[in-house]
């Protein structure tokens, strides 16, 4: 009896060890193959999760066979408990099936910046029950997959470029045509601004405000240089306005003293 017990324990650990090794070998082989053809795996974490789920599921079945565990009598004897368990697992099962649909249809995928019903962030990994979303302020949000599948998903950067809008107000004393001309020159001279036929940079009128004329500067940049381009254009606008003597109005508060 003790010999059989020791043998089963050894085989159990051996089975898990083999499953772990197979999982690692498959993932390394996929990475190596994708590198050979010059591409990368789009969703490595999610792919690893799916492959691991299949491998370890098979390993558990083998372990049950090693210990001669027959689940049929237990399943048959559940009776009314099966209904209770069915209701209890209804939500996880719905999330699991929704997760498969999300993965197959690629409604969202790892590394993508999305908004899911008002929750915005970067997709970290799509797991069996939840999609993990990392917000820009460092939070991790776990969204049930059924909400991802049924909800409205907004993809912020479906292409390689992203547009930036900056509102610039110039004083009424400044010639409007001159202001537009200087802003257009800024966009032409800034190397981080994309000059591509597929996109268009522009300076357009927005409104007449109490302090001056507001113009909207619209320009495109590569996704990875978004913040660098935003800062570079803002700095160039300020320095160009100073060189051209163009004033940016600001609020002046007058304090009138009362005579006693």
Strand order across the 161-170 sheet = 161-170, 213-222, 202-208
Question: For position 207, what pLDDT does the model report?
Answer: 95
pLDDT in tens, 182-194: 999 999 999 999 9
pLDDT in tens, 131-173: 999 998 999 999 999 999 999 999 887 788 989 999 999 999 9
* Cβ-Cβ contacts under 8 Å for 131 (sequence gap 6 or more): 99, 102, 108, 116, 123, 125, 142, 143, 145, 148
Answer whether 161's CB lies under 8 Å from 223's CB.
Answer: yes
Question: By three-state DSSP, how is residue 22 classified?
Answer: helix
pLDDT in tens, 42-79: 678 777 877 888 888 888 888 888 888 776 666 665 55
> Could you give the domains of the chain?
1-103 (1.10.287.1260), 106-155 (2.30.30.60), 161-244 (3.30.70.100)
Closest CA to 123 of 113, 50, 43: 113
Question: For position 139, what pLDDT does the model report?
Answer: 94
Residue 35 confidence class, pLDDT cut points 50, 70, 90: confident
Radius of gyration of the chain (CA): 30
Of 77-81, 219-223, 237-241, the one with minimum mean pLDDT is 77-81
Instruction: Pick 76 or 219 by higher pLDDT.
Output: 219
Question: For position 180, what pLDDT does the model report?
Answer: 95
Q: Which residue has the tokens 């590569």?
A: 222
pLDDT above 60 for 82: no
Answer whether 213's CB lies under 8 Å from 172's CB.
Answer: yes
The first and second tokens of residue 85, run together, are 């368990």
DSSP assigned state of 67: T
């Amino acid at each position: 009896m003790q010999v059989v017990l020791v043998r089963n324990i050894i085989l159990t650990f051996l089975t898990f060890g083999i499953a772990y090794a197979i999982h690692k070998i498959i993932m390394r082989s996929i990475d190596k193959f994708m590198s050979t053809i010059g591409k990368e795996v789009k969703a490595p974490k999610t792919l690893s999760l799916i492959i691991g789920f299949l491998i370890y599921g098979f390993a558990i079945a083998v372990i049950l066979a090693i210990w001669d565990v027959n689940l049929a009598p237990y399943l048959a004897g559940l009776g009314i408990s099966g209904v209770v368990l069915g209701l209890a697992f209804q939500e996880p099962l719905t999330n699991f099936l929704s997760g498969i649909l999300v993965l197959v249809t690629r409604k969202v995928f790892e590394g993508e910046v999305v908004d899911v019903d008002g929750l915005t962030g970067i997709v970290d990994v799509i797991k069996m029950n939840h999609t993990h979303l990392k917000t820009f302020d460092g939070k991790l949000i776990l969204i049930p997959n059924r909400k991802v599948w049924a909800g409205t998903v907004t993809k912020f950067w479906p292409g390689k470029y992203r547009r930036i809008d900056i509102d610039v107000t110039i004083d009424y004393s400044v010639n409007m045509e001159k202001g537009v001309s200087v802003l257009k020159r800024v966009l032409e001279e800034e190397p981080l601004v994309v000059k591509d036929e597929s996109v268009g940079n522009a300076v357009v009128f927005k409104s007449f405000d109490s302090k001056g004329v507001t113009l909207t500067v619209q320009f495109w940049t590569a996704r990875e240089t978004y913040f660098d381009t935003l800062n570079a254009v803002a700095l160039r606008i300020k320095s160009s306005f100073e060189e051209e003597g163009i004033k940016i109005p600001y609020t002046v508060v007058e304090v009138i003293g009362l005579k006693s």
